[in-house]
Every structure is written in C-alpha cells, then in structure tokens.
A and B are shown apart, each in its own frame.
Chain A
Amino acid sequence: MKGKVIEVTIDNIVGEVMNMKNDGQRFVTFSTYQEAEGKLGILYHFDKDLEDTHLRLVVDMDKPIPSVSGVFFGALLVENEIRDQWDVEFDGLVLDFNRTLYLDPEVTQVPLVSNVKIEPKK
C-alpha cells in the first residue's frame, strides 16, 4: 500500500491525530476491515500535497473507541457509518445518529459482521 503506515493504540490515537492536524495534513477518510474474530482493524488516511500517511489501529469490538470528531469535524459522518456497519461504540461523538444513518430503526442484523458467502446458483 502506498504511503507510510504508523501503528497506534487506543490510548494515543487522539494524540496522534492531533499531531497530524498540527502538521498540516488533510483528513481523507477511515477504512475498516475484519482483523480476526471479535477484532476490528481501522485505518485512518491523511494526505498532504498528494502524499498519503496512514495510522493503523486494532481494537476489540466490544469496547468503546475514542472519537476524533472533536479534532476533525469531518470525521463524524464516517464514524456514524462505522457504527452502522459493525455495531461498535464511539466515545465522544459530536453528532450521534445511533445506528440510523443508513439503516432503518427496526433492522437488527449487523451488515458486515455476519459473513454470508453465497455460492452463485448453478
């Protein structure tokens, strides 16, 4: 993957993101993937003058994750989308839609956790 990847932990994530902001980096987005059973990998992507920098964070899905929407206001939509897709909690989210941003209130199945691989019909 192009760009530098820095590993962070749950304790220093907000500090690292604040460093990125003071450095003049522009916030791009987050990407998430399933690291292992019950663990979620989050990649924070930043950009400055067309060069990419990434921060990688691996968390357990049942503990709340510190939110960076106080540092970057633009992160609030992505964090709400991650709440919808993986059913995790964010600590300190500025505007919380409580899993109704995309999904309807009565939907209980979590989209990206239930791994359904259907074989194409013969």
Chain B
Amino acid sequence: MATTVIPFGPQHPVLPEPVHLTLKVEDEIVKEAVPALGYVHRGLEKLADIRDYHQMITVCERVCGICSMIHGTCYSQCIEEAMGVEVTDRAKMLRVIWSELHRMHSHLLWLGLFADAFGFESLFMQFWKVRERIMDINEATAGSRVIVSVNVIGGVRADLSPDQLRWILSELDVAEKEIKEMQDTIMNDYTVKTRTCGVGVLSYDQAYELGAAGPTLRGSGVASDMRMSGYGAYGELDLEPIIETSGDCWARSTVRFREVLQSIDLVRQAISKLPEGEIAVKVKGNPPAGKEVYARVEQPRGECVYYIKGNGTKHLDRLRIRTPTFANIPPLLAMLPECELADVPVIVLSIDPCISCTER
C-alpha cells in the first residue's frame, strides 16, 4: 500500500475556475483532501469604501458571471429595505423573469460541463446549442448576453413590450422541445449511470450539518429552497422544491435538469401574471446610519446571503456576501474520502464550483 500525494491542480480540463486540492491517495483510493483557495481573490468587499451605493450594483453583478442578475437583485433588495423604498409589482415580476432565465442558462451550462467530465462531448455540444436561444433572449430584451445589468435601485431599467413577450414564449416552446429530447440520455443512459450512480454519496444528516446549499442539499433529500420564502414576486408563483433522495452525483444532476423544466414553467406563469405599472421608482438620500439588513436569495447554485450595514453617507460601512459554493466546499471534503481517483473530477464538478463567487 503506497501513499502518494497528487495535486488536483488549479489547471484541470474539467474545472471552469481554478481551485487546488491536495489529494492523499493510497493505490488509487483517495484518503484525504485539503483545499487551497485564493487564485481569483479580487477583494470586492473592500470596494464599498470607494464606490457609492449606486455604483456598487455594477460591482455586485460582476462577482459571478453566470448568476449576475440574482446578485444584483439581492443587493437592490437590501438597499431598498434599508432605505424604505417600495418597488412596483411590475418591476418585481420583471426581475423574476430575468432571474429564471439566468437559472436556466446556468443549469444548461453545468449539464454540458458535466457530460464533458466523463467524455460525452456530443451531449455537451447539444446542451450548449439550446443555451444559445436563452442568450439571444437576454440580448434582445436586456441588452447583453451574460452580464445583463438591468437592475437599478428602485426597479429595473428595461421593459418588455407585448411583442417581446410573445417572442419569448415561442422561443421557450422550441427550447423545451429540444431539452426534452435529451432527458432520456442524461437520466437513463447506461454510460451516464455507471459513471454517476453511487459516486460521491452525501447522506441527509451530513448535508444538513455541514451547511450545504442548493442542489447539493436537495439531492440528498432536504426540501429547502429559498424561493419558498416568497421574496420579490415569488409569493405569487406556484412552485415546489425539487428533491431526490439518493445523494449521489446522479441525484444532483437530475435535480438540476428538472429545475430547468421548472424554470420554463415559472417564466410562463410570470408572463401571464405580469401587472401594469411603472418600472422604477426614484430614490433619494443615503442608507441610514447603524441600520443592518440581512437577506437570502436562491441562486442557481444555492442560497446566497447578503449583509449590509449603512453609514449615513453614500458609502456603505460593510458589505458582506456569502455565496453558495463557499458553503458547499466542506461537504466536498466529506464526499471525497474512499472514492476512486478517476471519480474525483466528476465529484468536484457535481457541486457546481463557482470559485470566482467564493473568493470575491
């Protein structure tokens, strides 16, 4: 029994972003894993001292490229709560529409990368082909493909006309048909099941105690979804958390696939319930001194926590962001021991590592 130390380095073909794990391996079975972060630390929380609170929205949106709209929504909600600003119903519903489009394109990106992790490149290309339709919707309605930058404090700054709403619904119909063609492959194919069933198991109690978030938590059977608390316009929409009970990589992948179909349904509901009204409210003044606000939203990767402390001036005293991948790293360290070396890329990818969020 020979013990070797293998670096699962910052550069790896399967990782979208750099993270380093030192694996102690005995004859191809992993015994221990130690993480090392810090490759993309930008110090964004400190930037709140220099940029005023209106300009900080652009910084918060760039914490993560894929979930950027939801970061902007959470920050705007916190500042609006601190200053007592009431956002119109139309703005809340528009924010929900763009947030759900973001959730769809993030999960489709992940499904493609997951198929690539065990070598199924054709399925990877198929998922990304469907994703291009969602990017076209983003570009035509909000102004940009990935970082849409459509939130302002007090509402949104782009509106959807009835023609655009009809076009969105027709594009989603085509996308849903294409996604359902791949459902059989990603859930039932023999190769996919051999590589993912029984790999990286996280039990219900472990997931609850280690503080996991998002599909990592819901894939182990815990029914916890921040959207059920009804922030924004989610209180008027009809949704149930999607759970699977086996706790392995297959369960997490199935949860994300079913969430794509759930998001299409939510966008259709939101478009049918869209109220009339203004899209933004004028905001004057500064966040009051000593006021603390705490808010949680549901990002594609899990729950994201924002804590803001106001100062009385136009700069914030403290802006604290905790992203879901930060909470999912201790469960990863609990999943890795007693697995084979060839399964490590699949397990690391199954928590959806967004390291630029983690180390903002």
Total inter-chain residue pairs, C-beta < 8 Å: 87
List chain A residues, Cβ under 8 A from B209: 21, 27, 72-74
Query: Is A103 touching B41 in the complex (CB atoms < 8 A)?
Result: yes
- B208 interface residue (CB < 8 Å to A): yes
Which of B147-155, B312-320, B342-350 lies on the face that meets chain A?
B312-320
Task: State the main secondary structure of chain A at its contact with B.
Answer: loop
Q: Identify B50's interface contact among A33, A54, A104, A118, CB under 8 A.
A: A118
Task: State the main secondary structure of chain B at its contact with A.
Answer: mixed
Query: Is A45 touching B294 in the complex (CB atoms < 8 A)?
Result: yes
Which of B110-118, B160-168, B324-332 lies on the face that meets chain A?
B324-332
Query: Is B305 touching A100 in the complex (CB atoms < 8 A)?
Result: no
Using A50-B229, A111-B43 as known contacts, say yes or no to A77 and B329 having CB atoms under 8 A apart. yes
- B176 interface residue (CB < 8 Å to A): no
Query: Is A34 touching B38 in the complex (CB atoms < 8 A)?
Result: no
CB under 8 Å from chain B, chain A span 8-48: 21, 26-29, 31-34, 43, 45, 47
List chain B residues, Cβ under 8 A from A117: 49-50, 315
B38 to chain A, nearest CB (A): 5
Report how far A33 CA is from B318 CA in the complex, Å.
6
A82 to chain B, nearest CB (A): 11
Q: Mark A62-105, 1 if CB is under 8 A from B, else 0.
A: 00000000001110111000000000000000010000111110
- B37 interface residue (CB < 8 Å to A): yes
Using A26-B211, A28-B211 as known contacts, say yes or no to A118 and B49 having CB atoms under 8 A apart. yes
- A6 interface residue (CB < 8 Å to B): no
Q: Chain B residue with minimal CB distance to A49?
A: B224
Report how far A74 CA is from B305 CA in the complex, Å.
15
Q: Chain B residue with minimal CB distance to A21?
A: B209
Q: Mark B39-72, 1 if CB is under 8 A from A, else 0.
A: 0010101100110000000000000000000000
Query: Is B211 touching A27 in the complex (CB atoms < 8 A)?
Result: yes
B116 to chain A, nearest CB (A): 28
B58 to chain A, nearest CB (A): 14
Report how far A43 CA is from B296 CA in the complex, Å.
15
Interface size on B, residues (CB 8 A): 37
Query: Is A50 touching B305 in the complex (CB atoms < 8 A)?
Result: no
Q: Identify A72's interface contact among B38, B211, B292, B315, CB under 8 A.
A: B211
- A115 interface residue (CB < 8 Å to B): yes
A1, A34, A76: residue with the most chain B Cβ atoms closer than 10 Å: A1
Q: Chain A residue with minimal CB distance to B34?
A: A95
Q: Chain B residue with minimal CB distance to A81?
A: B326
- B307 interface residue (CB < 8 Å to A): yes
Query: Is A77 touching B330 in the complex (CB atoms < 8 A)?
Result: yes
Report how far A103 CA is from B46 CA in the complex, Å.
14
Query: Is B327 touching A74 in the complex (CB atoms < 8 A)?
Result: yes
Report how far A31 CA is from B293 CA in the complex, Å.
11
- A122 interface residue (CB < 8 Å to B): no
B17 to chain A, nearest CB (A): 15
Q: Identify A45's interface contact among B208, B224, B305, B329, CB under 8 A.
A: B305
- B309 interface residue (CB < 8 Å to A): yes
Q: Chain B residue with minimal CB distance to A56?
A: B292
Query: Is A101 touching B37 in the complex (CB atoms < 8 A)?
Result: yes
List chain A residues, Cβ under 8 A from B50: 117-118, 120
Q: Other than the known A31-B307, A34-B317, what 16 A-B pairs have Cβ atoms closer than 8 Å?
A: A1-B292, A26-B211, A28-B296, A28-B305, A29-B305, A31-B322, A33-B309, A33-B318, A43-B307, A45-B294, A45-B305, A74-B327, A77-B329, A100-B38, A116-B49, A118-B50
**What are 24 A-B contacts with C-beta separation under 8 Å?**
A1-B292, A21-B209, A27-B211, A28-B303, A28-B305, A31-B322, A32-B320, A33-B309, A50-B226, A52-B294, A73-B209, A74-B211, A74-B330, A74-B331, A77-B329, A77-B330, A78-B326, A101-B37, A102-B37, A102-B38, A102-B359, A111-B46, A112-B45, A116-B49
